């Protein structure tokens, strides 16, 4: 049995503080237990294309989900899993299709040209690739996880870390996307034997069987995808040991970037908890996350930042929000942003924005 995680479509929700996902030295299990789970931006790009194929106003779906369509092309885009309900509600409303997940999954492009596909293709067999991709599941999503049992009959069983954000539409689109990937890396040889969902059907069973080309069952305790054991031994036509090693190196580098972001998010979360107390020191933050100050400083340096930079950025964002979105007195904002006296706050804000806090508030209120 191996742990497996795969496709999910997530949207970005703008918040003042990014919730902690974990840190560089944390295990995946701790990451799962925290909020702020994100997904690869590639997935929302695929969903956007599928909506266009269905004739749905894809840009408006994104806007209702909290994502500016212009963000789609941003490098290293990660989107928030918590916006799933908004995405699917908008998709149902704008399409008029109560089975939008199934039909979007049918129209979405195949997940191609990404490092996980290359790991599959350069592995000797489909089974080898499947087991290898498991190690890099975070490149796709923090939110969806599962287990692959290889005997007596191969079966993928999955679950969501934050099930309250999952919908039946998401599950159906995800499974179709998953099957498409498996078919692509096996040149069409992969065929599902049975798909089992843990929700009620959104349309008639004939429509599900038409699209999945296999029996489909519903209202089960968990999702399951059964497939023939013979496919595990399917030999890749593109297997290259040297290329595989290169692909593993690239995947490791990308995973390291995500783990570094976990560290930054963890520090930001601790800053939010400590700011009003005035105890936002490197030593205090390190103690709260269970490491030494030296180790934290070193890990932040590897991530290309520093404790002081993160603290300044946090204070800057918080000050702008409080000045533009609340009526809090300046003296209270000084306290809330962790400054010891107004003069220090005024100098810092002038350095950040090139204007005083009062002038900034007046300009934003016009």
| 341 shares a domain with 274 | yes
- The mean pLDDT of 287-295, rounded to a whole number, is 93
- The mean pLDDT of 299-320, rounded to a whole number, is 94
pLDDT score of 366: 66
Domain boundary among 244, 278, 306: 244
Q: Does residue 6 have a pLDDT over 70? A: no
Residue 8: which pLDDT band, with cuts at 50, 70 and 90?
A: very low
pLDDT score of 137: 83
- The mean pLDDT of 169-176, rounded to a whole number, is 94
| 307 shares a domain with 181 | no
| 187 shares a domain with 274 | no
Counting residues of the chain whose pLDDT is more than 90, the rounded percentage is 67
| 280 shares a domain with 234 | no
| 274 shares a domain with 235 | no
Mean pLDDT of the chain: 86
Lowest mean per-residue pLDDT among 14-18, 118-122, 201-205, 246-250:
14-18
pLDDT score of 31: 35
What is the Cα 247 distance to its own chain's centre? 21
| 114 shares a domain with 212 | yes
Quick: pLDDT tens for 48-84. 999 999 999 999 999 999 999 999 999 889 999 999 9
Quick: pLDDT tens for 344-353. 999 999 999 9
pLDDT score of 33: 35
Cα 260 from Cα 266, distance rounded (Å): 10
Specify the higher pLDDT residue, 137 or 5: 137
Domain boundary among 244, 271, 304: 244
Q: Does residue 24 have a pLDDT over 60? A: no
| 145 shares a domain with 22 | yes
pLDDT score of 75: 86
pLDDT score of 26: 28
Residue 365: which pLDDT band, with cuts at 50, 70 and 90?
A: confident
Quick: pLDDT tens for 224-264. 999 999 999 999 999 999 999 999 999 999 889 888 988 99
Residues of the domain holding 328: 249-364
Specify the higher pLDDT residue, 23 or 126: 126
Quick: pLDDT tens for 88-104. 999 999 999 999 999 99
pLDDT score of 183: 96
3-state secondary structure labels for all residues of the chain: CEEECCCCCCECCCCCCCCCCCCCCCCHHHHHHCCCCEEEHHHHHHHHHHHHHCCCCHHHHHHHHCCCHHHHHCCCCEEEHHHHHHHHHHHHHHHCCCCHHHHHHHHCCCCCCCHHHHHHHHCCEHHHHHHHHHCCHHHCECCEEEEEECCCCCEEEEEECCHHHCCHHHHHHHHHHHHHHHHHHCCCCCCCCEEECCCCCCCCHHHHHHHHCCCEECCCCCEEEECCHHHHHCECCCCCHHHHHHHHHHHHHHHHHHHHHHHHHHHHHHHHHHHHHCCCCHHHHHHHHCCCHHHHHHHHHHCCCCHHHHHHHHHHHHHHHHHHHCCCCHHHHHHHCCCCCHHHHHHHHHHHHCCCHHHHHHHHCC
- The mean pLDDT of 276-284, rounded to a whole number, is 87
| 64 shares a domain with 178 | yes
pLDDT score of 10: 29
pLDDT score of 41: 92
| 255 shares a domain with 353 | yes
| 239 shares a domain with 254 | no
Specify the higher pLDDT residue, 10 or 242: 242
| 62 shares a domain with 44 | yes
- The mean pLDDT of 19-23, rounded to a whole number, is 28
Number of domains comprising the chain:
2
Q: What CATH number has the domain bearing residue 279?
A: 1.10.10.60
pTM over 0.85: no
Max avg pLDDT among 36-45, 145-154, 209-218, 325-334: 209-218
| 355 shares a domain with 265 | yes
What sign for the dihedral angle of Cα 173, 179, 180, 181?
Answer: positive
């Amino acid at each position: 049995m191996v742990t497996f995680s795969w496709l999910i479509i997530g949207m970005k929700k703008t918040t003042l503080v990014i919730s902690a996902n974990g840190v560089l030295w944390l295990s995946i299990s701790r990451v799962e237990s925290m909020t702020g789970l994100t997904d690869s931006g590639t997935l929302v790009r695929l969903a956007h294309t599928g909506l266009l194929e269905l004739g749905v106003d894809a840009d408006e779906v994104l806007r209702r989900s909290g994502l500016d369509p212009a963000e789609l092309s941003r490098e290293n885009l990660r989107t928030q899993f918590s916006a799933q309900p908004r995405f699917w509600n908008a998709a149902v409303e704008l399409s008029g299709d109560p089975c939008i997940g199934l039909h979007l999954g049918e129209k979405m492009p195949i997940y191609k040209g990404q490092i996980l596909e290359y790991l599959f293709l350069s592995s000797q067999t489909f089974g080898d690739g499947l087991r290898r991709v498991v190690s890099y599941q975070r490149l796709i999503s923090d939110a969806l996880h599962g287990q692959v049992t290889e005997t007596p009959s191969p079966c993928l069983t999955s679950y969501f870390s934050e099930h309250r954000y999952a919908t039946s539409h998401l599950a159906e689109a995800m499974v179709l996307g998953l099957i498409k990937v498996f078919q692509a890396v096996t040149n069409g040889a992969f065929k599902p034997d049975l798909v089992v969902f843990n929700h009620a059907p959104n349309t008639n069973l004939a429509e599900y069987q038409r699209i999945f080309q296999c029996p489909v069952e519903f209202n089960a305790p968990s999702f399951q995808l059964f497939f023939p054991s013979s496919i595990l031994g399917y030999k890749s036509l593109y297997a290259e040991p040297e290329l595989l090693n290169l692909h593993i190196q690239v995947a490791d580098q990308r995973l390291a970037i995500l783990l570094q972001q976990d560290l930054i998010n963890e520090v930001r979360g601790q800053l939010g908890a400590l700011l009003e107390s005035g105890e936002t020191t490197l030593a205090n933050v390190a103690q709260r996350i269970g490491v030494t100050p030296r180790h934290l400083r070193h890990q932040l340096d590897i991530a290309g930042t520093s404790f002081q930079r993160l603290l300044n950025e946090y204070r800057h964002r918080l000050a702008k929000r409080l000045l533009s979105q609340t009526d809090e007195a300046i003296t209270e904002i000084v306290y809330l942003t962790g400054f010891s006296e107004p003069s220090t706050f005024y100098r810092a804000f002038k350095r950040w924005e090139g204007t005083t806090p009062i002038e900034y508030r007046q300009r934003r209120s016009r």
